[in-house]
Amino acid sequence: MNRGSTILKTQMNRLKDGRGQGYGKDYKPFIQVSDNKAPSEGYLIRELGWKTDRIHHTLSKGECCCRYLMVLSWSDAVVDIREQYPLTPIERSIEIADQLNIKHAHQDNVPVIATTDFNITIETEKGLEDIVRTVKPPSDLTPRTIELFQIEKTFFEEQGIN
């Protein structure tokens, strides 16, 4: 089996295993710390979320429990936190990348399912609402990172998600 088909098989197995799906305690992050292949600053952290009653998987210092995850956990408006949330179906993010003339996220020339750092459900006056947030320090905002953020932004805006 070549490297490309291994990457595709891994992604499909994650989806089949329920990764990137569910809510609250039942949510399983698409990328988990144990996968150990995610790009990171060396801060792969598993933290028990008291609000969700499950282990959260954060892949950078900015996402980590002592930072943004902590802020979300203490916010009264936050009902659910889903980290490493996948942009699926991948075909749509590939189409968006093509429309924006941006190269899609890939590994070994194989398109990979992109993820957003946090898909958050909040309680508003109008009811429950999902919002997505990505956490990056300004020093990491390379032109390529900004391109990938544009794909992500367009993907979620099409669904009416802030």
The mean pLDDT of 17-40, rounded to a whole number, is: 78
Q: Which of 26-30, 55-59, 72-76, 85-89 has the lowest mean pLDDT?
A: 55-59
Q: Which residues on neighbouring strands pair with residue 133, listed in sequence order? A: 118
Residue 18 CB contacts under 8 Å (≥ 6 apart), including other chains: 28
Helix (H) or strand (E) holding 54, with range, is: strand 54-58
pLDDT score of 33 more than 70: no
Tokens of 100: 């924006």
The mean pLDDT of 132-146, rounded to a whole number, is: 89
pLDDT, position 102:
97
The mean pLDDT of 63-77, rounded to a whole number, is: 75
The mean pLDDT of 22-49, rounded to a whole number, is: 70
Residue 8 CB contacts under 8 Å (≥ 6 apart), including other chains: 110
pLDDT score of 36 more than 80: no
Q: In this predicted model, what pLDDT tens digit does every residue of 92-103 receive, in sequence order?
A: 999 999 999 999
pLDDT score of 135 more than 70: yes
pLDDT, position 119:
95
pTM of the model: 0.80
Answer CATH for 3-157 from 3.40.1350.10, 3.40.190.10, 3.90.1660.10, 3.40.50.720: 3.40.1350.10
> Torsions phi, psi of 81, nearest 5?
-130, 120
Domain boundaries, the chain: 3-157
With a pLDDT cut of 70, the percent of the chain lying above it is: 80
Q: Which residue has the higher pLDDT, 30 or 123?
A: 123
In a 3-state reduction of DSSP, which class is residue 121? Answer: strand
